[in-house]
Chains A and B, each alone.
Chain A
């Protein structure tokens, strides 16, 4: 009864084209944002803010970037971590080499650099698709890391290749505690998620989906194939680049190129697949599942041993966690191949009718 759109009549197209046409969704989003912006920083402890929520937001953003490319435009990519690395290292360099540059400007410029790299490595998509394209984007993964390791300029000639992110300050206000860094990350991620949502429900998003669903028909209705695919790569890499910049500046603080290995690209791809291909919400759900769930399992194992008074050895617990996590991934993929976002959508459809079956 709670989630029902009965009685909410739309009498103009503007009302019908709203970002969240259903009142309950608008209320839910408003509450969620209020909690995230006000309650969480006020009551969250340092560990939760710095080590769990901030990386969750950052990986959500990276997954969102990949989702734009893979989920909406249908171009498979394994180069996400490389684009993140470009974002991280270029932000460092912009702050280092342009004194007094506002940090947000550095994020945007670094994102644009990542977008440029993304366009270059997206060029094969003009001719190849599917798994072959995924393999072609591996080139980005290897080439970018190689350059960052070999060319000293990028890490300011540090011998280990490690960079230490500079202090973040906006108009003299310093973001030096986990809570402040969390708020900055949250603001950037929320703003970019909103932009992505808008973009995907307008002409560019439809062009992406058209290319994904049926490329011959897309070009017959006049969608320029090459421009659309490269734009998808550019936007996706921009998102990944900003995520990388946040990863270095608000989360880790010190990073080396090896942190952005193929492993990370795969992790982000799994977030997209588990969360929901072609869904903004799915990017957040997928990142939440992959990042938050192992922590939850860890806590749960503690509760279980406390409850039954059984002392479980640390090795057994960590192995069990991996087994349960793997099992759940398989379960979710079998239960709903379209990801958690689709499960959520089905739940909403059911709620709309509840308590009646039809």
Chain B
């Protein structure tokens, strides 16, 4: 068991690690995603933006197996090998190193901050329930080792003072931060953030941006994020993909996207 160590030096954006190819998803007659393709490079901060109902959250849900796409493939690089999925389930996605946060906080409300973060490490725990019931040797050692790792994350996110507080009692901004902590606890290679700054005030947004960039810098985690605050998106992301009505309408650097006519039309509306 190793505690995640920061990787020295800023991470350079590398090769493609995740490729989404022609993914389509519909609920009955509603087409949530139509033939969407894009890719994500290693160590990059990749934003998905678009007006309400554009299919952004659906896209993330497909990526970690909460929804199952009807068409298309997702290819994920594992070291040198590529793994191809038509259909992933969320347990499998977690095992492959994909972690995420939710738009409407999905923390375990009755549990403390520490327990929530420890839950994020469940896939790394090896002892069976009998050993845990006896709290003997290996189970205790494992629990303490993971406690150490969880504390690193608590330090990183500056939430030491609330580690024993049940999450349900925390204010919204801190809950968002704890949810990020739970996702980080899994030491993901790919982190999916669904509106991490929604409903936050300026200071909280700045804090969250700092954490996102720090995660990206220190741990080299690849990040895909959905965000409505354009200032934030243009500031922190390397590349942006724009969805509208389930279709991809633009893809490129923040500057390219900002000046794209289709994007402007989608956001501001266009005279017919």
Contacts and interface: CB of A to CB of B under 8 A. Distances in A.
Given A195-B133, A203-B125, A224 B107 contact: no
A199 B129 contact: yes
Contact of B151 (A13, A203, A207): A13
Contact of B108 (A16, A19, A213): A213
Nearest to A223: B122
A14 interface: yes
Contacts of A217: 102, 106-108
Nearest to B142: A203
Given A17-B143, A214-B108, A206 B118 contact: yes
Interface residues of A, number: 33
Contact of A202 (B89, B111, B132, B151): B132
B200 interface: no
Q: Taking chain B's interface residues, is the majority helix, strand, or loop, or is none over half, making it mixed?
A: helix
Contact of A278 (B90, B110, B122, B143): B110
Contacts of B108: 209-210, 212-214, 217-218
B134 A195 contact: yes
A9 to B, nearest CB: 15
A202 B143 contact: yes
B175 to A, nearest CB: 12
Contact of A210 (B64, B90, B111): B111
A219 interface: yes
Interface stretch (B4-12, B30-38, B93-101): B93-101
Contact of B91 (A13, A199, A219): A219
A202 B64 CA distance: 26
A336 to B, nearest CB: 16
B58 interface: no
A222 B121 CA distance: 9
Interface in B142-199: 143-144, 147-148, 151, 182-183, 186
Interface of A: 13-14, 16-17, 19, 195-196, 198-199, 202-207, 209-210, 212-214, 216-225, 231, 235, 278
13 contacts: A13-B147, A17-B144, A17-B147, A198-B132, A198-B134, A199-B132, A210-B119, A218-B119, A219-B91, A221-B94, A221-B122, A221-B182, A222-B95
